[in-house]
Structure 1
Amino acid sequence: MNFRKTKHLVFVNDFLSLGGINVFISSLVRLIKKKYATQFECTLVVGKKRKEVQPRLLRDDFLKKELFFLKFNKRWQRLLEIPIAAFWTSFRLHGRKKIDCLILNNTKSSFLIAPWARIKHIPALLHCHNIPAQDIYFNDIERLNGFKKLKAILRAFCLWVMQAWVIFWVKRIIVFSRFQKKQLSRFFPLCWNKIIISRFGVDTRFFRPSNNRSALKKKIGFSSSELLVFYLGRFEPNKGLSLFLESLKRLKGLGLPMRVIIAGPEDEFLPQIKKQVVRLKLKNVIFLGKLEGKKKIAFLQAADLLVIPSVGVETFSLTALEALSCGTPVVANPVGGIEEILSRVGRRWGNGRFLITQKTTPLAFSRTTTQVLKLGSRQRKHLRKICRQTIVIDFDLDKKGEKLIKLY
């Protein structure tokens, strides 16, 4: 990939704390730094709360930062503040150094930048990690009643209008799965010719299986004979952790030496989850809090199973890719793009739906979990090998990221 001059890429995001999007940006920038450091210059335009902890993303010297500080806390105030601040920061940045390509996200910060980029003839690509209007439709509207339901419908409509506005102005829309393309075309029928499927990957040298899992289990405080079932993520209702805990109640009688590890950032939903654990009398559940970096990788390597019990739509899952790259099987509900990932593992195993539940119910989840945990040591070793092989072949960051960079 040769260019006559250095291209200036600008990534735009609302918050430093938006996990999945920032992980994606961080991985992509790391790849650019490694392979195309002389051909690209990268800048991140992002909002930062005054007392927010600086994540690893900002510690990379290769990635220049343009921060706009967020003063307001209320949602309706942020609705105005973020688009204006992001636009003004990008406008000033373009005045100092010409922007060659804007990489936007499905967030408020894109609302004013997208039309400005078209007027200034700056190519703008939209990374569509999710569809906010769809998330509300599936996760909130169906379970609410009365005024709350009406409020959710109105919010979904407003988000749909905002997203349609951004989609109209951008040059290309990049999605990570066929499911995502199908859903986006369903909600925005006129954008189908702008959509490009470009599957993302993980750094297989960073996320790799442990050479000695038994020793690793002991190192992190568990017995080598215990089966570690790992959940990593947020505690929102659409993440389905409540469903997973209900399924654990059905696994009690199997007599498996199982330990359940739940890790994620503390939020307003965590107390409800802890109450449910007490109510169901689940004594083998451990809460670890937020895991990052090497500690997260150690738990992914040591785990015998990662569960993603989401009941809301999952357009893609970097966590699943990271676990599979570490050789850890993943069980998930059939709720979107994650199904495409796990079906590839399943086909190599001999059953395309081996790691995917039949329904989004506790019973179905417990059945799929049981069939994985009951595998013999030889079968389990073979499954771990298949998980790793699938990522190396189909989702390696160097291969997939390079295709993505060519679009810039």
Structure 2
Amino acid sequence: MKLLSTGLGWNELQPGGLNRYFADYNAAMKEYGHAGLGLVVTESGDQLSTNLNIVEAASSGTPLIARMRSLKRMARQSVDAFQPEVFNPHFAPYAAMISRAVLPPHVPIVTHFHGPWALESKLEEHHRSPFMRESRYWVKKQVELLTYRRSDSFIVLSEYFRDILIEQYGIESHRIHIIPGAVEHEKFKPHPDRESLRRKLGVQPEQQLLFCARRIVRRMGIDRLIESMNAVVALHPGVRLCIAGDGAMREEYSRLVESLRLSDHVKLLGRVSNEELVEWYQAADMSIVPTITLEGFGLVTVESLSCGTPVLGTPYGGTREILGKLSADLLFKDGTSESISETIIAALEQRLHIPSREECREHVMQHYTWDRVADAVTQVFEVELEKRKRFR
């Protein structure tokens, strides 16, 4: 079938969980046999390089309202030229102006809910006054609701995000389908020679390498992870933590590392390429996911597991749902630095049930592959198409 989708940005240009999902999702749906057209927003001057049918619909350098209007214009053109059978938005604000007047009545709208945009923004706007935060939150939520109120059904990646859709947006549970995310397992796979890879990355043979890949913002819990390393290195001075990612809090967290005198043990790598990301997962002894809140799935969790590297994470949202099925010992008691350090130390001292690298990989192959996602999503589309046959 012909699928028109709208995303946020393009992962090769703007790395992030939603953008990576959108890119891999479009590739998987194409492999499954669908014809897709994806509309994304990129920075001015960036060139899209992909064999998928992805089009730049707007520039991220323009105001939000201008981007929304541009997406609407491109969607209207796509309806005429591409004649989609399903409209599948992945980022509510960019789809807010694509109303039923733009789409033929027989085209269902199946929305991927990747998280509460308004609430995520509110949590990061700590520099604003309480009044401004609440006002901006209310406006952004109304923008989201424009998309959600016209959607026929929803796809979420976890029970956690299903509950948010129900409780915060008033969506009926029968309209929500839980289809966990997936990983490009042919790319994210164990390295054939980990020791040589570790030498390449400067990891000493006796070192225990911890790795964390996160956007460097407050809700990701990076500060608590850094603080936890004080207790870890006191008992295990050979441990090294590398953190990949960029964001608003990077400079502050760099200063935190220095103030705690952890510079020999904790390194902020900044943004890394997709190829480098795979290598760090492969080389690590354990990955850490310290997210405090709004972890809807945790793509980094399955990426690490797919490389054969076990993951320790906070017992929230999608992280709990993924790791709890593998081993309860992989979950921290809570999101405090004390709990994080206690679990890391126990893992290093082999006092926990940590799955083998083979078991980690197998867990992904059983539950988080793109062929499973494409099949499940297609079934949702078919149901919604059947419901709208009466509009033809």
**TM-score normalized with structure 1 length:** 0.86
Shift of the 180–371 alpha-carbon distance from structure 1 to 2, 3 Å rule, reads same
CA deviations 1:288-326 (Å, max 9, x no partner) are 221222221111011011111111221111111100111
* Residue 48 (1) aligns with residue 45 (2): no
* Residue 276 (1) aligns with residue 259 (2): no
Aligned to 1:15: 9
Asked if the contact 2:245–2:270 (Cα under 8 Å) also holds between the matched residues in 1, the reply is yes
Shift of the 258–190 alpha-carbon distance from structure 1 to 2, 3 Å rule, reads closer
Asked if the contact 1:239–1:311 (Cα under 8 Å) also holds between the matched residues in 2, the reply is yes
Instruction: Tell me how far apart the structure 2 counterparts of residues 313 and 166 of structure 1 sit (CA, whole Å).
Output: 20
Instruction: Tell me how far apart the structure 1 counterparts of residues 345 and 261 of structure 2 sit (CA, whole Å).
Output: 19
Shift of the 162–223 alpha-carbon distance from structure 1 to 2, 3 Å rule, reads same
Higher mean alpha-carbon deviation, 306-315 vs 208-217, is at 208-217
CA deviations 1:367-386 (Å, max 9, x no partner) are 1111222228x976x53222
Instruction: Tell me how far apart the structure 2 counterparts of residues 18 and 118 of structure 1 sit (CA, whole Å).
Output: 30
The partner residue of 1:263 within 244, 255, 259 is: 244
Higher mean alpha-carbon deviation, 193-202 vs 109-118, is at 109-118
- Flag structure 1 segments of 5+ consecutive residues without an equivalent: 1-6, 347-351
Question: 2:38 is matched by which residue type in structure 1?
Answer: L
Shift of 1:44: 1.5
Shift of the 82–312 alpha-carbon distance from structure 1 to 2, 3 Å rule, reads same
* Residue 402 (1) aligns with residue 375 (2): yes
Higher mean alpha-carbon deviation, 335-344 vs 251-260, is at 251-260
* Residue 25 (1) aligns with residue 10 (2): no
SS in 2 for 1:116: coil
* Residue 329 (1) aligns with residue 327 (2): no
The partner residue of 2:80 within 95, 115, 118 is: 95
Instruction: Tell me how far apart the structure 1 counterparts of residues 288 and 186 of structure 2 sit (CA, whole Å).
Output: 23
Instruction: Tell me how far apart the structure 1 counterparts of residues 15 and 200 of structure 2 sit (CA, whole Å).
Output: 31
Instruction: Tell me how far apart the structure 1 counterparts of residues 379 and 171 of structure 2 sit (CA, whole Å).
Output: 25
The partner residue of 2:324 within 343, 361, 364 is: 343
Instruction: Tell me how far apart the structure 2 counterparts of residues 313 and 187 of structure 1 sit (CA, whole Å).
Output: 13
Question: 1:183 is matched by which residue type in structure 2?
Answer: I
Asked if the contact 1:177–1:199 (Cα under 8 Å) also holds between the matched residues in 2, the reply is yes
Shift of the 358–271 alpha-carbon distance from structure 1 to 2, 3 Å rule, reads same
The partner residue of 1:217 within 153, 174, 198 is: 198
Question: 2:82 is matched by which residue type in structure 1?
Answer: K
The partner residue of 1:105 within 84, 90, 101 is: 90
Asked if the contact 1:201–1:401 (Cα under 8 Å) also holds between the matched residues in 2, the reply is no
Aligned to 2:57: 67
Shift of 1:119: 5.6
Instruction: Tell me how far apart the structure 1 counterparts of residues 4 and 148 of structure 2 sit (CA, whole Å).
Output: 18
Question: 1:334 is matched by which residue type in structure 2?
Answer: P
Instruction: Tell me how far apart the structure 2 counterparts of residues 177 and 190 of structure 1 sit (CA, whole Å).
Output: 15
Q: Aligned pairs, how many?
A: 377
- Flag structure 2 segments of 5+ consecutive residues without an equivalent: 382-392
Higher mean alpha-carbon deviation, 204-213 vs 306-315, is at 204-213
Shift of the 392–216 alpha-carbon distance from structure 1 to 2, 3 Å rule, reads same
Shift of the 223–116 alpha-carbon distance from structure 1 to 2, 3 Å rule, reads farther
Shift of 1:13: 2.3
Asked if the contact 2:110–2:153 (Cα under 8 Å) also holds between the matched residues in 1, the reply is yes
Asked if the contact 1:117–1:123 (Cα under 8 Å) also holds between the matched residues in 2, the reply is no
SS in 2 for 1:315: coil
Shift of 1:126: 0.8
Asked if the contact 1:307–1:332 (Cα under 8 Å) also holds between the matched residues in 2, the reply is yes
Asked if the contact 2:213–2:245 (Cα under 8 Å) also holds between the matched residues in 1, the reply is yes
* Residue 369 (1) aligns with residue 353 (2): no
SS in 2 for 1:228: strand
Shift of the 18–110 alpha-carbon distance from structure 1 to 2, 3 Å rule, reads farther
Asked if the contact 1:247–1:362 (Cα under 8 Å) also holds between the matched residues in 2, the reply is yes
Question: 1:50 is matched by which residue type in structure 2?
Answer: S
Shift of the 87–224 alpha-carbon distance from structure 1 to 2, 3 Å rule, reads same
Shift of the 213–271 alpha-carbon distance from structure 1 to 2, 3 Å rule, reads same
